[in-house]
Copies of this chain bind each other. A is one copy, B any other.
Amino acid sequence: MKDRKLILVSNDDGVDARGLENLINMVLPYGDVFVVAPEKGQSGMSHSISLLEPLRTRKIKIGTELSIIAVSGTPVDCVKLAINQLLPRKPDLMVSGINHGSNSAISVIYSGTMGAAIETSLYGIPSIGFSVLDHSKDADFSLVVKHGTKIIEDVLENGLPPQVSLNVNFPVTDEKNYRGFKICKQTTGVWKEEFDKRTDPYGGDYYWLTGDFHNFEPGNEESDEWALANNYASVVPVKIDFTEYNTINELKKRIK
């Protein structure tokens, strides 16, 4: 076959996750697939990189149409190692996920799934992160598998602007009630934590992180939270520039 596309796949739930298996099957019809995924679960690892530990790799499968390599580090480590060391050439597309759990709103900044997708986009490679709003191991991926290929086909055909990735989240619903894709903005809000304080059998205290999302714009129909609550799959184009431009001029007057 000539002009085969090369597709990089990663995730944050680890190389054994069902979501990854589903995503591999989604992209196999579109090209040669190279999976570089974390050896262990990396939920909540955000954009972290391994500076204090070296990385180890484990070849699970090496083939023409499908290769799978596990990496001892984070999702972003996987992407850096894949692009700079493991892949035979620059990939045409990168997909991340399917994440077990939501990466909408501010959760995008804690997400290892989106960390991997965003890191890929920095290299000028179009990337898509897929998530479903179900944390369980038994999450139902059927809506993503059926409809997510539409996004994959669009990006393979039309690309994305430089350094842009897509954050795609699917609601928990059925085919009948699913309303299609909605292009959105990231919802403004914050997770309010209520730590679960416990005592171990030896008298030591420890804390588990739990919390609820507080939506600062619950009625905004352009936001991803609104879309998901209304049974749309949300699609947020993502680009990394943390600069708050609106504040620059005021600060210039204050600080010299």
Contacts and interface: CB of A to CB of B under 8 A. Distances in A.
Given A150-B255, A193-B80, A43 B52 contact: yes
A44 interface: yes
A255 B181 CA distance: 7
A49 B50 contact: no
Contacts of A246: 161
B55 A207 contact: yes
Given A80-B209, A183-B252, A164 B55 contact: no
Nearest to A208: B54
A183 B158 CA distance: 37
Nearest to A241: B186
A244 interface: yes
Task: Describe A's contact surface by its main secondary structure.
Answer: mixed
A51 B167 contact: no
B248 A209 contact: no
- Interface size bucket, A side? 35 or more
Given A161-B247, A243-B236, A255 B183 contact: yes
A245 B109 CA distance: 17
Interface of A: 41, 43-52, 54-57, 76-77, 80-81, 83-85, 106, 108-110, 112, 115, 118, 122-123, 150-151, 154, 158, 160-161, 163-164, 167, 180-181, 183-186, 188, 190-195, 197-198, 204-209, 235-248, 251-252, 254-256
29 contacts: A41-B52, A44-B49, A47-B109, A48-B112, A54-B207, A56-B205, A56-B206, A80-B195, A80-B209, A81-B195, A84-B193, A106-B122, A108-B242, A118-B242, A122-B191, A151-B255, A154-B254, A161-B244, A161-B246, A163-B188, A181-B256, A184-B248, A185-B241, A185-B243, A185-B245, A186-B242, A237-B248, A239-B243, A239-B247
